[in-house]
Amino acid sequence: MGSVYSQTSENASITSVDPRIQEVFADQLQTLVLNVPNRLNDLTDILNNRVRIETRTVSENEKYTKLSSVEFFNKYNPSLERDTTIDSTNFNPLKYVLQFHASHRMMYRIDGTDKVVVIYPQQFLKNK
């Protein structure tokens, strides 16, 4: 009876996880996210509060890294594919090796668009 309860509890916690986190961590979700204190909260904070897609005019001399040149993170889910189109409702930044913990705002140009993925540092949000 105890193991059935435990299994039910694990399934309930997995179903409440953002699907973008599930997509990236796949069958390692329990081990790498749910069993690590604060990991789920940190990833959820990145997705919901710290990453935004913003419109920024393209300039000739801009130095934004192009999203297509960023390393793809499919270590735990080899079937992941790079996005062919990106919008703010379906973008999963966890699929890319982005600098989520920089001390300053990071920006990545979405190739061929006037859109930029902006990652705000934790400290920026604490000051708001």
- When pLDDT is averaged across residues 68-90 and rounded to a whole number, the result is 92
Q: How far apart are the first and last CA of the chain?
A: 48
Percent of the chain's residues with pLDDT above 70: 84
| pLDDT over 70 at 12, yes or no | no
The predicted structure's pLDDT at residue 105: 95
Spatial contact of 60 and 87, defined as CB atoms under 8 Å apart:
no
User: What is the reported pTM?
Assistant: 0.83
Please state the domain count of the chain.
Answer: 1
More confident residue, 26 or 13: 26
- When pLDDT is averaged across residues 25-41 and rounded to a whole number, the result is 94
- Our separate counts of H helices and E strands in the chain read 5, 4
| pLDDT over 60 at 108, yes or no | yes
Residue-range definition of the domain harbouring residue 36? 2-126
Rg (CA), the chain: 17
Distance in angstroms (rounded) separating the CA atoms of residues 128 and 123:
9
pLDDT tens for residues 43-68?
Answer: 999 999 999 999 999 998 999 999 99
More confident residue, 63 or 8: 63
| pLDDT over 60 at 83, yes or no | yes
| pLDDT over 50 at 7, yes or no | no
Please, which pLDDT band fits residue 3 given cuts at 50, 70 and 90? very low
The predicted structure's pLDDT at residue 14: 66
